Amino acid sequence: MRVKDEEKVNRIYRAAMKVVNSDGFQGSSMSKIAKEADVSAATIYLYFENKDDMIKKLFIHLKSGMGNSYFKDTNDLTPSKGTFRTIWLNHYQYIMDNMEEYNFLENFSNCPLIERIEKEYKPDYCPVIESLFEKSKSQGLLLNLNNDLLYSLLFLPVNYLVKKSKSNGTTLGTNELIEVFEASWRAICK
């Protein structure tokens, strides 16, 4: 397994994501993915050890891509409501712009295969936001709650809503969006 053609790996990633999202994990097969990527199934095995390996690497690939984009345009991490709002909106924007990726990640967070790597991978997943939480708590901006709890109060509702609105075919207006942020913020601010 020697990586020569970096672009081919991406084609495989994209194909896998697409097939899995549309057919579900159990409906996805190496040959479908291969066809979608326009390579032979055997070729995939030049780049990945096996199917699990491919899925895991795809998961990590997408997850880190997602983590990075939260903080695009955001070098100023001074604890403030404005900072959180910016991050929060970036998060929202990322989900909207990368629905495919987001869906894939959501779908697989709960599968046994992924759970293991989630555990290994999570620690260094979002150190930036973790430290922002810590700073904010020590400055009295946020309630003194566990980071996981802060995370869930702040981000889960919007995640859920996006998924909902996607399946309903509706879109969230700007006002509505701000409303959601304000509600979430109220939950965690001091």
Partner DNA sequence: TATGAATGAGCCTTCATTCAT
Partner DNA sequence: AATGAATGAAGGCTCATTCAT
Residue owning tokens 């990075």: 68
- Tell me the CA distances in angstroms from 140 to 35, 79, 111, 158, one per residue in order: 55, 10, 38, 24
Contact string 167-186 vs its own copies (x = CB under 8 A)? x--------x--xx--xx-x
Tokens 């973790």: give the residue.
130
Return the number of the residue (40 or 80) whose C-beta is nearest DNA. 40
Per CB under 8 A, which region of 56-64, 75-83, 126-134, 144-152 contacts its own copies?
144-152
Residue 27 engages its own copies in binding (rule: CB under 8 A): yes
Of 112, 121, 130, 173, the one binding its own copies by CB under 8 A:
112
Q: Which residues sit at the interface with DNA, rule CB under 7 A?
A: 1-5, 8, 27-32, 39-43, 45-46, 50-52
160 interacts with its own copies by CB under 8 A: yes
Phi then psi dihedrals of residue 72, to 5 deg: -60, 140
Q: Which does 74 bind (CB under 5 to 8 A by kind): its own copies, DNA, none?
A: none
Instruction: Report which of 189, 8, 21 is spatially closest to residue 105, judged by C-alpha positions.
Output: 21
Give the C-alpha separation, 159 to 174, whole Å.
Answer: 16
- Measured between alpha carbons, how far is 138 from 98 in angstroms, rounded to an integer? 34
The correct pick among 49, 115, 124, 134 for binding its own copies (CB under 8 A) is 115
Three-state secondary structure of 41-107 = HHHHHHHCCCHHHHHHHHHHHHHHHHHHHCCCCCCCCCCCHHHHHHHHHHHHHHHHHCHHHHHHHHH
Q: By CB under 8 A, name the one of 68, 131, 156, 171 that touches its own copies.
A: 156
Residue written as token pair 């404005």: 82
Which C-beta is closer to its own copies: that of 75 or that of 146?
146
Q: Out of DNA, its own copies, none, which partner does residue 67 contact, by CB within 5 to 8 A per kind?
A: none
**Where do contacts with its own copies occur on this chain (CB under 8 A)?**
21-27, 103, 106-107, 110-113, 115, 119, 143, 145-146, 148-149, 152-153, 156-157, 160-161, 164, 167, 176, 179-180, 183-184, 186-188
